[in-house]
Amino acid sequence: MPVSRFPVHVLMRRTPLANRWTSESWAPAAIEIAGAPGDDVSVERQPPVRVDDGPAGTWWRFAGFALELHRSELEGYYLNVREPSPQVFVMWRRDEATTPPATPHLVTVSYNEAARMLDGGELVDAVPMAPEILAWVAPYVEANYQPEQRKKVKRNDPFADGAFVRDRVSREPK
């Protein structure tokens, strides 16, 4: 079954800091749309490009990412889409040996996938979701998401089957 994909670019921002422990901070700043969504969309990672450099900070564009929709992540998409301000989650890593030293590795619109990455110790930040991305995700969730049916929990009752009845054996002397 083909996976629906939406090509995007990730913009990372370096902000200079006046701090004695660190001179800068890095964070994902925005998601740019790189094309139309589809089932046969292919993306190829490209080297990062410096977009803007000024006293307020530096912006880098990382091209070659795609948001993907998988049926197994429907609950995570649903949780994100129903929020007042849906987000795109960017998993990124720092590596001082590269230029720039912060590199995005994965983008997702699933709350659950982002939570699993955070639980695994990865750096994950959220950026606002573009209306075009929301218009792509929301109909998919509407058409495919079925909330899990809640099951009534039956508690263990040790006295339910009569197994622990005290007076089962007669205590009268023979």
Model confidence at 171: pLDDT above 60 = no
E strand residue ranges, the chain: 4-16, 24-33, 49-54, 57-69, 87-94, 102-108, 123-128
Q: Read off the pLDDT of residues 113-166 as tens digits, 9 standing for 90 and up.
A: 999 999 999 999 999 999 999 999 999 999 999 887 777 777 776 666 665 555
pLDDT average, residue stretch 97-102 = 92
Please report the pLDDT score of residue 130 as a whole number: 96
Model confidence at 28: pLDDT above 80 = yes
Q: Read off the pLDDT of residues 36-83 as tens digits, 9 standing for 90 and up.
A: 998 888 899 999 999 999 888 999 999 999 999 999 999 999 999 999
Sheet holding 102-108, edge to edge: 102-108, 87-94, 123-128
Please report the pLDDT score of residue 129 as a whole number: 97
Please report the pLDDT score of residue 163 as a whole number: 59
Give the strand pairing for 57-69 and 49-54: antiparallel
Name the DSSP letter for residue 121. T
Please report the pLDDT score of residue 1 as a whole number: 55
Q: 34 with 9: CB under 8 angstroms?
A: yes
Name the DSSP letter for residue 40. S
Please report the pLDDT score of residue 54 as a whole number: 86
Instruction: Please report, for the chain, the start and end positions of each structural domain, with discontinuous segments joined by +.
Output: 4-144
Closest CA to 112 of 75, 149, 162: 75
